[in-house]
Chains A and B, each alone.
Chain A
Amino acid sequence: MDKKYDIETIIKQHLKPVYSFVFRFSKNESEASDITQEVFIKIWKNLNKFDPEKNFKAWIFTIARNTAIDHIRKNKDIAFSKLDAQFEEDEKTFEETLPDIEPLPDEIFMKKELGGEVERALAKIRPDFREIILLHYVEGLTFEEIGKIVGKPLNTVKSHHRRALNILRKLIIE
């Protein structure tokens, strides 16, 4: 398999989704460009290791997520593990009182610039919730695939998804 020709097709097909995903992590154009470059170089280097029986898109987003986290951790000195621990603590108390997804009122769709409001609301939620929403609704990945990408059990992904939707709903309605 000639890596060079394959990678150019992969770049064409996946540049925009990967860049969008990474940009929402870093919120900085130049940083997102650097991370995206690193992501595609890693994809190119590891193309031979990819298992064709697995979902290629999920594999790409796993690389994108890990690269983005490493990059941001290095540059901004954010202790992601500390954040994760804090989130897990929240999770423990939350699991037992897990709410259902609250319905969306029809009027919400009458709002002008709804897309912009959704974007703003999305920017306000926790990064680990945001990535689940993006991977599920924008990239069309299943919760199982997302679980593998973010390294969390299926039930945790589902509960984060429900919580994210309820938070987004509140932010958009308010």
Chain B
Amino acid sequence: MENKYKKLLGSINLIEPPKGLANQIVFRIREEEKRLARIKALAFGGSGIVSSGLSLWAAIYFINSIKETGFGKYFSLIFSENGAILSYWRELSLSLIETLPVIGLMALLGAIAFFVWSATNIFKNRHSYGSFMLAN
């Protein structure tokens, strides 16, 4: 019985879309692509600039912290008096841990991670920047 209904309803025709609709859709998608490229260029470009500035600041802060805490002096001992290191390695290790500028190190690693993330995204979206540049 349903076959008759299939035959009957199979006569329903698809409605022809207006001419140019497909092109309009492709055009709108390209416009959307350009808009997204613009947003990505601004976002990742901005984060790239900010992260490189942050990395520089964190590196300076880390170097100053090393100087202030004396970590550098203890660290340099490793490469100077080998005999003394063997005798006092426990004391030296403790001094190194105590003077390690943890905050400066974390700030530096965080800033580097942020920079790597930004650089990766800039690289990944390099085609988008191309279309963004062409669009402007």
Count residues on chain A whose CB falls below 8 Å from chain B CBs. 37
B contact face: mostly helix, strand, loop, or mixed: helix
A8 within 8 A of B: yes
What are the residues of chain B within 8 A of A33 when measuring CB–CB? Answer: 17-18, 21, 24
The answer for the CA separation of A109 and B24 in the assembled complex, in Å, is 40
> Which residue of A is nearest B15, CB measured?
A20
What are the residues of chain B within 8 A of A7 when measuring CB–CB? Answer: 26, 29
B22 within 8 A of A: yes
Contact indicator B21/A104 (Cβ below 8 Å): no
CB-CB contacts of B10-30 with A at 8 A, as 1s and 0s?
111111111001101110111
What are the residues of chain B within 8 A of A36 when measuring CB–CB? Answer: 17, 21, 25
Q: Which of B1-9, B61-69, B87-95, B100-108 contacts A (4 or more CB under 8 A)?
A: B1-9
The answer for the CA separation of A19 and B10 in the assembled complex, in Å, is 18
A residues 59-98 near B (Cβ < 8 Å) are: none
A129 within 8 A of B: no
The answer for the CA separation of A29 and B32 in the assembled complex, in Å, is 23
Count residues on chain B whose CB falls below 8 Å from chain A CBs. 27
Contact indicator B7/A109 (Cβ below 8 Å): yes
Contact indicator B5/A101 (Cβ below 8 Å): yes
Which residue of the partner chain, among A11, A23, A37, A165, contacts B15 with CB atoms under 8 Å?
Answer: A23
> Which residue of A is nearest B11, CB measured?
A115
CB-CB contacts of A114-133 with B at 8 A, as 1s and 0s?
11001100100000000001
Which residue of the partner chain, among A4, A19, A41, A101, contacts B21 with CB atoms under 8 Å?
Answer: A19
A-B contact pairs, 24 of them (CB 8 A): A4-B33, A15-B17, A15-B21, A16-B15, A20-B14, A20-B15, A33-B21, A37-B25, A40-B25, A41-B28, A41-B32, A104-B5, A104-B8, A114-B11, A118-B8, A118-B11, A118-B12, A119-B13, A133-B9, A137-B9, A137-B10, A137-B12, A138-B9, A138-B14
Ordered nearest first, which 9 A-B pairs have the shortest CB separation? A137-B9, A19-B17, A20-B15, A20-B14, A115-B11, A104-B4, A40-B25, A23-B15, A16-B14
With A36-B25, A41-B32, A118-B9 known, 19 other A-B pairs at CB within 8 A are A15-B22, A15-B25, A19-B15, A19-B21, A33-B17, A37-B24, A37-B25, A41-B28, A101-B1, A101-B2, A103-B4, A104-B1, A109-B7, A114-B11, A118-B8, A122-B12, A137-B9, A138-B12, A172-B8
> Which residues from chain B sit less than 8 Å from chain A, CB to CB?
1-2, 4-18, 21-22, 24-26, 28-30, 32-33
